[in-house]
Amino acid sequence: MTRTEMTGVADGRPLLAGIIGWPVLHSRSPRLFGHWFAEHGIAGSYVHLAVRPEDFAQVLRALPKAGYRGVNVTVPHKVAALALADAATPVARAIGAANTLTFQPDGGINADNTDGYGFLEAIRAGAPQWVPAAAPALVLGAGGGARAVLHALLGAGVPAVRLANRTRAGTEALAGHFGPGVTVIDWADRDAAAEGAGLIVNTTSLGMTGKPPLQIRLDAAPASAVVTDLVYVPLETGLLAQARARGLATVDGLGMLLHQARPGFRAWFGADPQVTPALRRAVLEGLA
């Protein structure tokens, strides 16, 4: 371990980052970063930053001055984070939201969105047999998570995305934003839309502990379909349990959470952290 790592100070700035959201105290990200700090021998700190929407701009501008190297951004600040950044990656601009902000030594804010990257990496790790170009995907939900998923799927070469959301208004606009590769399906037709799908993704909050279950029948899905859920509390949602009972491959939502954090850690702390079974155990400890 170098002297820099032992003192927790490098380039005159503390090894300090955090997750900014409202509410945010439930976030597992400090636990995730704590595991990587220990693994890499880095004396860093990663904290919850509970900031109300009306205070977000003021607090964000102050964080580089307070020595932060960057922050992860969660609900409800992802769109505002992109708008306030001084520079943004093409991915963040295409998704229309940022989840990873890197602060330059001069205070400048660079925005990125790693949710789609995390989503794809999790599927590649959990279902390596999935061939994006081989079949259409069915995506349930059209909120913030869905935007990153749509961008990732089209970028990976999925030939067509069927998008089903409870509220049709707004969903057409979202599909229009991503172009002819995305077709809007009526929420009532979601069971039939599983036919021929190579990947089925739940991006709604349904199925999460405390929310209603996601009602869908996977009978029409081909035997080769991979089923994944952005919800990771519980780890095995009703959707994943149904898929498993049908013999379909499943990927839980925790992998996306873990993989989306890797680029931030690399940018802020200069080490390349890995997603391992030990990391999953550390983050899962105490989850409902």
Q: Does position 264 bind ligand NAP by CB under 6 A? A: no
Q: Does position 20 bind ligand NAP by CB under 6 A? A: no
Q: What sign results for the dihedral spanned by CA atoms 182, 177, 168, 242? A: positive
Tell which one of 18, 44, 253, 264 touches ligand NAP (CB under 6 A). Answer: 253
Specify whether the backbone of 270 is left (phi greater than 0), alpha (psi in -120 to 50) or beta: left
Q: Does position 60 bind ligand NAP by CB under 6 A? A: no
Residue 78 is among the residues annotated as catalytic for this protein: yes
* Binding window for ligand NAP (CB under 6 A); candidates: 65-73, 81-89, 163-171, 264-272: 163-171
State the nearest-atom distance from the C-beta of 8 to ligand NAP, in Å: 28
d(CA 223, CA 132): 16
Question: How many of the chain's residues bind ligand NAP (CB under 6 A)?
Answer: 24
Amino acid at 71: V
Site string for ligand NAP, 63-92 (x = CB under 6 A): ------------x-----------------
Is the Cβ–Cβ distance between 222 and 247 less than 8 Å? Answer: no
Tell which one of 143, 155, 159, 196 touches ligand NAP (CB under 6 A). Answer: 143
CB atoms within 10 A of CB 129: 8
* Binding window for ligand NAP (CB under 6 A); candidates: 7-15, 26-34, 165-173, 193-201: 165-173
Q: Does position 145 bind ligand NAP by CB under 6 A? A: yes
Tell which one of 158, 208, 243, 283 touches ligand NAP (CB under 6 A). Answer: 208
Site string for ligand NAP, 26-55 (x = CB under 6 A): ------------------------------
Amino acid at 1: M
Residues that bind ligand NAP (CB under 6 A): 75, 115, 141-146, 165-167, 203-206, 208, 212, 230-232, 253, 256-257, 260
Q: List active site positions.
A: 78
